[in-house]
Amino acid sequence: PRTGAAPALAYTLTFLAFFAHNVAELVSGLPDWAAAQGLPIGPAQFANALALLTLVAGILLFIGRTRQFNRPAQIAVAALGGALLANVASHAAVSLRTWSPMPGLFTAIALVLPSAAWLLLRLPLDRRTKTIAGLSGAGAIPLFAGFALLIAR
């Protein structure tokens, strides 16, 4: 069953939460933290990759907000929502694994988790479609992040 359109505010808040989260990761030194964990990523490369991912997310959320009953657009937004929730989970899992709070952990939990969950719950898609799209987005995170880092060099 198709529900009503997600509130426009849900798309906007999700973008603002993701943007704030990315800024927090950059300002709190995620590249240095990652290097200490054995994953060397240069600050400039990381900043460029974040900018690219933020831009793509912003475009998807804008399209979703302006085309709320366009099924392909909402499926793309659901995939993004799944990717954002998986990002939150990865921050928590990596922080637990390393016994060190990963930069961005608190903004992921406080901002990204509630905004992405609210958006996903309100998308005008049936539960099965949201689940498949969300899981697809979550599974695609390594591909998108790797691609963003590759072209950000």
**Average pLDDT of the residues of the chain:** 91
Helix (H, G, I), strand (E, B) or coil at 1: coil
> With pLDDT > 70 as the criterion, what percentage of the chain qualifies?
97
Asked if 148 and 41 count as a contact pair (C-beta separation under 8 A), the reply is no
Query: What is the value of pTM for the model shown?
Result: 0.91
Predicted local distance difference test score (pLDDT) of residue 87: 95
140 class by beta-carbon count within 10 Å (0-12 exposed, 13-18 middle, 19+ buried): middle
Share of the chain above pLDDT 90, in %: 69
pLDDT at 4: 63
Q: CA angle, 110 as apex, 70 and 120 as ends, to 5°?
A: 20
What DSSP assignment string belongs to 67-82?
-TT-HHHHHHHHHHHH
| Phi, psi for residue 59 in degrees, rounded to 5 | -65, -45
Average pLDDT over residues 28-32: 90
pLDDT tens digits, one per residue of 105-152: 999 999 999 999 999 999 999 999 999 999 999 999 888 888 887 877
pLDDT at 3: 54
Helix (H, G, I), strand (E, B) or coil at 9: helix
